[in-house]
Amino acid sequence: MCKKGFWARPAFLSAAFMLPVLLAVLLLAGCPGPTDPEPEPLPQPPAAPVITGISPEPSKLTFTWGAVSGAVSYEVCYNTDGTEPTAETTWTTTSATTVILEESLTDYTPYYVWIRAVNNVGASAPSGPVAVTPGNITIDNLMGYHQSNIQFADSNNEWYFTDDGFVIDENLTTFTYYEYNTGGGVVGFAGTIAGIIAEDPSSGPATDGRIFIKITNGGTWNKTAGSYYAVIYKNLTDSGVTEGGASKYGDFTAEENNGLPSLQEAITTYAYSTASDSGYFAYPAPYNTKTVLPGSLSALQGKWCWEEMYMVVKGNTFLSFIDGSEGDGIYSPDNEEDLLYIVGEIVDYIDKGASGILYVHTVVAGDSGYENEKFEAIAWKGLNGNNISFCAQMDSHSSIDDVKTAYDDPDNGDQFDPEYFSVYTK
């Protein structure tokens, strides 16, 4: 018998029986039970390849791209009319990350190229198109910073300096255009290189052409992201280009100047022209050349003033002049009180940090005894932020070797008289 107030559990209500019952009650009551594991993600095709190298040669094109994780092979297709690949397109398969197109390609004809990665699931979206012309093209000369430096403006007959210019990375894949007169610090527009179209030179290496950019940063020029735009270059050598132009279509306000939706349309619309006004800027030689002053010498860049005397270093261009009565920091041949000393190209230098020597090849001889097509030595001392002391030697030399032999130490008082150093400020 049971005692009063005590309930005895029947034998069939054992712990083994009650546990599943309790769990069922909890589930019906909405209490969380053990969770199911997350389902495994379905396999996906690989990412699209990123082109990292372009190399045109006569009748031949070579493209390189980065390896794609999970890809077992790559496929390439190309044509000359820019038609996008379809389901019926024939692709060429390769296991390498380089492809060489050399089936007797026609020089200076644009070839549109697409590349995609493949795994066991399928193919990625294609990268591209990239349009390149085969031919005799020294493509490495396009790498670097092509800077406008100093321009003689016919419109107002004044010497002045700007920092228009464009930078192309060492793999010919990215492009940045710096806005006019901003010290190279403001991006006009930037993007990835989608095409290099060289003009047929008839003989010798191709020196003129167009660079097509797929805009990723509309910058201060308000280009449309994802659109295609072009920059014209002329007279390409290993030291830069003598002319470059951000393309314009019609007048400056035309909608087409913001970029076009396809590379094919851009190549057709932004046509190459030999006219001097075919781009937004065009500078005569040697004032659009690659910047060659590295390291600490970058601190020399800019316009330095002592009383009415100016020394200007922009890229590898050197300018010195006296600003007479106007005090605007500009040399004008129309102002009889302005005196031009020298305009030249910096062809070598000695860098000792706070002091050094610039060796300048004179392009335009001025009013103080310099000679055209000769070489001068310009010493500096005490470089410290916005202060520097300059001293220029007046005797010209016939060769770079002669001037370097005569002047090889900025701290040598027999070579550079200490009394002739003047303190300049930016």
Give pLDDT tens digits for 372-424: 788 999 998 988 878 888 887 768 899 999 999 999 999 999 999 888 889 98
- Is the pLDDT at 160 greater than 70? The verdict is no
At which of 98, 132, 166 does a domain end?
132
- Is the pLDDT at 6 greater than 50? The verdict is no
Does some domain include residue 255?
Answer: yes
Does some domain include residue 114?
Answer: yes
pLDDT tens string 188-245: 899 999 999 999 998 889 999 999 999 999 998 899 999 999 988 888 887 677 777 7
Arithmetic mean of pLDDT, 79-103: 92
**Residues facing residue 27 across a β-bridge:** none
Q: What is the pTM of this model?
A: 0.62
Instruction: Give the pLDDT of residue 182.
Output: 46
Contact between residue 213 and residue 230 where contact means Cβ atoms under 8 Å apart: yes
Distance separating alpha carbons of residues 193 and 183, to the nearest angstrom: 23
At which of 219, 254, 269 does a domain end?
269
Instruction: Give the pLDDT of residue 283.
Output: 45
Average pLDDT, the chain: 80
Distance separating alpha carbons of residues 131 and 113, to the nearest angstrom: 6
The CATH number of the domain holding residue 76 is 2.60.40.10
pLDDT tens string 266-277: 999 988 876 655
Question: In this structure, are 124 and 177 located in the same domain?
Answer: no
Instruction: Give the pLDDT of residue 82.
Output: 93
Question: In this structure, are 125 and 156 located in the same domain?
Answer: no
Question: In this structure, are 127 and 175 located in the same domain?
Answer: no
- Is the pLDDT at 250 greater than 90? The verdict is no
Under DSSP, the state recorded for 296 is G
Instruction: Output 131 or 163, whichever has higher pLDDT.
Output: 131
In the structure encoding, which two tokens stand for residue 89, read together? 């397109």
Instruction: Give the pLDDT of residue 29.
Output: 52
- Is the pLDDT at 26 greater than 50? The verdict is no
Distance separating alpha carbons of residues 343 and 229, to the nearest angstrom: 34
Question: In this structure, are 150 and 258 located in the same domain?
Answer: yes
Question: In this structure, are 228 and 143 located in the same domain?
Answer: yes
Does some domain include residue 359?
Answer: yes
Question: In this structure, are 123 and 203 located in the same domain?
Answer: no
In which region does residue 239 sit, left (phi positive, over 0), alpha (psi from -120 to 50) or beta (all else)?
alpha
Our CA angle for 175, 180, 181, nearest 5°, is 125
Instruction: Output 188 or 369, whichever has higher pLDDT.
Output: 188
Question: In this structure, are 199 and 254 located in the same domain?
Answer: yes
Our CA angle for 302, 305, 308, nearest 5°, is 140
- Is the pLDDT at 291 greater than 60? The verdict is no
What is the domain extent for residue 76? Answer: 51-132
Distance separating alpha carbons of residues 189 and 220, to the nearest angstrom: 7
Closest CA to 142 of 200, 212, 225, 218: 212
Percent of the chain predicted with pLDDT > 90: 36
The dihedral through the CA atoms of 421, 423, 424, 426 has a sign that is positive
Burial 177-214 (b: 16+ CB within 10 A, else e): bbbbeeebeebbbbbbbbbbbbbeeeeeebbbbbbbbb
Count, residues in the chain: 426
Instruction: Give the pLDDT of residue 384.
Output: 85
Residue 230's Cβ-side half-sphere holds a number of Cα atoms within 13 Å equal to: 29
Question: In this structure, are 60 and 92 located in the same domain?
Answer: yes
In the structure encoding, which two tokens stand for residue 324, read together? 């007479």
Question: In this structure, are 78 and 180 located in the same domain?
Answer: no
Does some domain include residue 25?
Answer: no
**Number of domains comprising the chain:** 3
Question: In this structure, are 161 and 126 located in the same domain?
Answer: no
pLDDT band of 16, cuts 50, 70, 90: low
**Residues facing residue 114 across a β-bridge:** 77
Does some domain include residue 221?
Answer: yes
Question: In this structure, are 88 and 151 located in the same domain?
Answer: no
Instruction: Give the pLDDT of residue 310.
Output: 86
Does some domain include residue 278?
Answer: no
Contact between residue 62 and residue 76 where contact means Cβ atoms under 8 Å apart: no
Question: In this structure, are 207 and 307 located in the same domain?
Answer: no
Instruction: Give the pLDDT of residue 284.
Output: 44
Does some domain include residue 232?
Answer: yes
Under DSSP, the state recorded for 46 is P
pLDDT tens string 311-352: 888 767 788 888 887 677 777 666 778 888 887 888 888 988
In the structure encoding, which two tokens stand for residue 134, read together? 């085969």
Percent of the chain predicted with pLDDT > 70: 77
Contact between residue 187 and residue 177 where contact means Cβ atoms under 8 Å apart: yes
The kind and range of the H/E element at 266 are: helix 263-269
Does some domain include residue 324?
Answer: yes
